[in-house]
Structure 1
Amino acid sequence: MDIVNFFESLAGKWFSQRTTHNLAGQSSQAGQSNLLIDFLPAADGDLAQACAPLGHDSSQIACGLRVHQDSQLEGDSQKIQSTALMVVMTPDASGAGVLVQAAASAPAVQGHYQVENEVLTIVTPTAAGQVEERLWFVNPNLRMRTSVVKVDDTVQIASFCSEIRMGLAKPAD
């Protein structure tokens, strides 16, 4: 599956159940999210605007996503709402490429992606280390996502999400 097809399959309304483990603090926390994910074609102007601060050529955009998230952590009465853009740059011959993530509340960040054996891996550097996320489908309406936050090559936080598409899968074109 190529990266554009993979990102097209992410579009839709999803319910996410997440468990996060803080390995350093020896604690865990559960949470739930409602995700509304819109697929954006390469020509979408918001994608080019998100890439501009990082100096990427908009002609190299493959596609993107707009992700609306409404989350609540267990034991917390306040909901967290956010919207972010993910911009996929055209992959190289190996299928790897640059992924730009932009949210209104933070500067755009650049990571890298790879789709291998129908698993998307995204690695995003942070000031202290990196976030590594993996996403794959069990079937068209059920996907799994894991992430680890590493600081100085030591895993500090690990999370697992199971995500269910609300409604039917988008029909194939």
Structure 2
Amino acid sequence: MDETAFPPADLEAFLTLCVGRWMSLRSRFDLKGPEDDWHTSDRGEVTVSLKDQGPERILTVQPAESAASQLCFAGDGNLVVAADGVERTGHWQLREDASLELLLSDAASAATVLERIWFIKPNLRLRSTTAIAIDGTPLQARFCSEIRRVSSPQV
């Protein structure tokens, strides 16, 4: 039986709860895209692992269909995300409602990306992401629901 506290009360508990294999349903809305191609949805799988690097926690996210990304959480609220050979910096905050908020600046597109991750149950996780241009115009929105793959109990 898993003894992970729910809802998570601190970053360590939240990241520990993220570890595992997840089935996901993702929807993406490109608000600046062509009228006939502004929305996509797909299913996927992702494996999440956690490493303790002294004062930092490194979450590795490995989608089945693409390269892994690493999120490095520092105890002071700083965040570094490395994906596809590019590093972005930002901040993380564990909110009072036990959701984790990630705020990143994307220098390439001059946009700010805000991601919020929260658990409905220990094996059901939701994520929402919005990208906003420097002038405040919404560019993109994503929503993802993820269900943890669990093994059947051994009899």
| Structure 2 length-normalised TM | 0.82
In structure 2, the partner of 1:68 is 62
CA offsets 1:11-67 (integer angstroms, 9 cap, x no match): 000011011111122410001221111111124xxxxxxxxxxxxxxxx42x11111
In structure 2, the partner of 1:28 is 39
What is the rounded CA distance, in whole Å, between the counterparts of 1:107 and 1:17 in structure 2? 25
User: Gaps spanning 5+ residues in structure 1: where?
Assistant: 44-59, 71-79, 92-96, 169-173
Matched, 1:109 2:120: no
Aligned equivalent of 2:116, options 129, 134, 152:
134
Matched, 1:159 2:142: yes
Distance verdict in 2 for CA 1:107–1:22, change over 3 Å: closer
Structure 1 runs (4+) greater than 6 angstroms displaced: none
What is the rounded CA distance, in whole Å, between the counterparts of 2:87 and 2:111 in structure 1? 17
Q: How well do the aligned residues superpose, as a CA RMSD in angstroms?
A: 1.3
CA offsets 1:47-99 (integer angstroms, 9 cap, x no match): xxxxxxxxxxxxx42x11111112xxxxxxxxx411111111013xxxxx011
Residue 82 of structure 1 aligns to a residue in which SS?
coil
Structure 1 vs Structure 2: percent identity of aligned residues?
A: 29
Residue 87 of structure 1 aligns to a residue in which SS?
strand
What is the rounded CA distance, in whole Å, between the counterparts of 1:67 and 1:158 in structure 2? 20
In structure 1, the partner of 2:102 is 122
User: Gaps spanning 5+ residues in structure 2: where?
Assistant: 1-8
In structure 1, the partner of 2:49 is 38
Indicate conservation of the 8 Å contact 1:21/1:158, yes or no: yes
Residue 14 of structure 2 aligns to a residue in which SS?
helix
Indicate conservation of the 8 Å contact 1:7/1:64, yes or no: no
